[in-house]
């Protein structure tokens, strides 16, 4: 049975979601604010998250950034915000889908099933290999020369964002929002510092990296 974490401060909507999700075979855990959501996620390890953006304590994108430090499952944002900038911000922060309120429950359930199918396909390829190191996204481990290399949560967040998009440019803004949160999207020096730390741990020659590459002024790229 898949476990869904529903994060919304509207008790009537939460009750309706709980009833519909349980009727569809899901186990449901609920949280009414952002801090509770992070606690419940850590305690119950959901397979999927349905997340409102307009929470009473934290903005939903902040919750999403906190989840994405370790949670690799699908996140569907459910929000009354309809501005395209809000949608883009949520997707850049790590959301997999965005549904605007009011919504059709049948469509929401269909989107959750689609996210589950996509997640299952991705989990079958959750080990990413390069010539120098191997990243196991499910076990959250990095192996170099047969030994597990210890990464900090921030280093892991940065590395996992890159290896999920092999060969593709990941923008500075996307990385900062995903790993540190929307308030840090201009702090590009964070990326330089932590990318340097990752290269020292993972690259055979950190001064001439082959796998964790910088695209000046734009972002970073993982090359297997």
- Identify the pLDDT of residue 123: 52
> Looking at the structure, do residues 47 and 102 belong to the same domain, yes or no?
yes
C-alpha to C-alpha distance for 127 and 135, rounded to whole angstroms: 6
Is residue 92 domain-shared with residue 174, that is, in the same domain? no
Whether residues 25 and 119 share a domain: the answer is yes
Q: Please report the pLDDT score of residue 88 as a whole number.
A: 78
Residues 136 and 67 in one domain: no
Is residue 138 domain-shared with residue 189, that is, in the same domain? yes
Overall number of domains in the chain: 2
211 and 148 together in one domain: yes
Is 107 in the same domain as 28?
yes
Q: What is this structure's pTM? A: 0.57
Which residue range is the domain that position 19 belongs to? 3-123
Question: Can you give the CATH number for the domain in which 136 is found?
Answer: 1.10.10.10
Could you tell me if 135 and 118 lie in one domain?
Answer: no
Question: HSE (CB half, 13 Å, CA atoms) of 144?
Answer: 11
8 plus 102 within the same structural domain: yes
The residue among 123, 140, 174 that closes a domain is 123
Q: Which of 123, 151, 169 is the last residue of a domain?
A: 123
Query: 164 and 116: one domain?
Result: no
Of 167, 166, 190, which Cα lies nearest the Cα of 178? Answer: 190
Within its chain, how far is the Cα of 200 from the centroid? 25
Per-residue confidence of the chain (224 residues) as pLDDT tens digits?
A: 689 999 999 999 999 999 999 999 999 999 999 999 999 998 898 999 999 998 999 988 899 988 887 787 889 998 887 677 777 778 877 888 888 888 899 999 998 988 887 765 555 458 888 999 999 887 788 999 989 999 988 899 899 989 988 888 888 988 988 888 777 778 899 999 999 999 999 999 999 999 999 999 899 999 98
CA separation, residue 133 to residues 35, 147, 194, 210 (Å): 35, 10, 17, 11
Burial class (CB in 10 A: 0-12, 13-18, 19+), 117: exposed
């Amino acid at each position: 049975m898949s476990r869904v974490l529903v994060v919304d401060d509207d008790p009537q909507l939460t009750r309706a979601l709980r009833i519909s999700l349980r009727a569809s075979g899901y186990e449901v855990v609920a949280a009414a604010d952002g801090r509770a959501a992070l606690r419940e996620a850590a305690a119950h390890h959901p397979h999927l998250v349905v997340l409102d953006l307009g929470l009473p304590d934290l903005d939903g994108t902040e919750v999403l950034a906190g989840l994405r430090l370790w949670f690799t499952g699908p996140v569907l944002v459910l929000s009354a915000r309809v501005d395209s900038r809000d949608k883009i911000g949520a997707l850049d922060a790590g959301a997999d889908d965005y549904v605007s309120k009011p919504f059709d429950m049948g469509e929401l359930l269909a989107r959750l099933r689609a996210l589950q199918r996509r997640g299952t396909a991705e989990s079958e390829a959750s080990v990413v290999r390069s010539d120098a190191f191997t990243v196991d996204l499910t076990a959250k481990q990095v192996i170099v020369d047969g030994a597990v290399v210890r990464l900090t949560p921030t280093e892991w967040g940065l590395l996992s964002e890159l290896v999920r998009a092999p060969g593709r440019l990941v923008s500075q803004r996307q990385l900062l929002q995903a790993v540190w949160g929307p308030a840090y999207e201009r702090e590009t020096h964070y990326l330089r510092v932590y990318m340097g730390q990752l290269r020292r741990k993972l690259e055979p020659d950190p001064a001439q990296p082959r796998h964790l590459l910088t695209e000046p002024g734009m972002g970073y790229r993982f090359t297997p």
